[in-house]
Amino acid sequence: MKYFIVLLVTFLLINCKDEVFPKPAAQLKLEYPSATYSEFKADNFTFLTNQNAFVKSKNTVSKEIHYPKMKATVFLNYMPVANNIEALLTDAQKLTYDHVIKADQITEQPFLNFDNKVYGMFYEVGGNAATNVQFYATDSTNNFMLGSLYFYAKPNYDSILPAVDYIKKDIRKIIETLKWE
């Protein structure tokens, strides 16, 4: 019996290791390249766009800014103003507030650039909405542009937030540098 206890104690001491603790939940750290901008020129407007994305012209009024690494696209639609500014503004606001069902919050940020005659609204849509950023810009007499950011994935706000923040800066740059032709 004495040998058995010595053997058991020896076995337990040999097999005892440090306690194993579960690792905390890891978070994926996404890093994107620094943005460098170049001018994009269309028939009715110009703006600066990120060189890490590419612009695809669907036609003279519809443009798509693709971010292939993030699987995202900013859709831009240009419309001439012909005594229909109120209808265009109403449609743009309705398009944003249609996401209120899934959105946690919608933040409006007005934009005014008197030098370039660009006036608009920048919307941030929080939560699992289909689009997290929308905007419109106009000179209120001749030109109107509507933009929306979409990802090619099921909306999961926590997962796409780093990409949204990155592209949101690019969208702000578009609005800030927008000039009508």
pLDDT over threshold 70, residue 7: no
pLDDT in tens, 18-59: 666 666 666 666 778 899 999 999 999 999 999 999 999 988
Strand, helix or coil at 3? helix
Strand, helix or coil at 2? helix
Tell the CATH topology of 39-180: Protein Transport Mog1p; Chain A (3.40.1000)
The domain limits of the chain are 39-180
Scan for tokens 């919608």, then name that residue: 106
Greater model confidence, 6 or 80 = 80
What is the band of 180 on the pLDDT scale with cuts at 50, 70, 90?
very high
Share of the chain above pLDDT 90, in %: 55
Mean pLDDT across the chain: 86
Length in residues, the chain: 181
What is the band of 14 on the pLDDT scale with cuts at 50, 70, 90?
low
Instruction: Count CA atoms closer than 13 A to 76's CA, side-chain side.
Output: 27
pLDDT in tens, 131-140: 889 999 999 8
For the ranges 1-5, 59-63, 131-135, the lowest mean pLDDT is seen at 1-5
Return d(Cα 35, Cα 49) in angstroms, integer. Answer: 9
- The alpha helices in 23-156, defined as continuous H runs, are 85-97
128, 141 Cβ separation under 8 angstroms: no
159 C-beta neighbours (distance < 10 Å), count: 15
pLDDT in tens, 93-128: 888 887 667 778 888 999 999 999 999 999 998 888
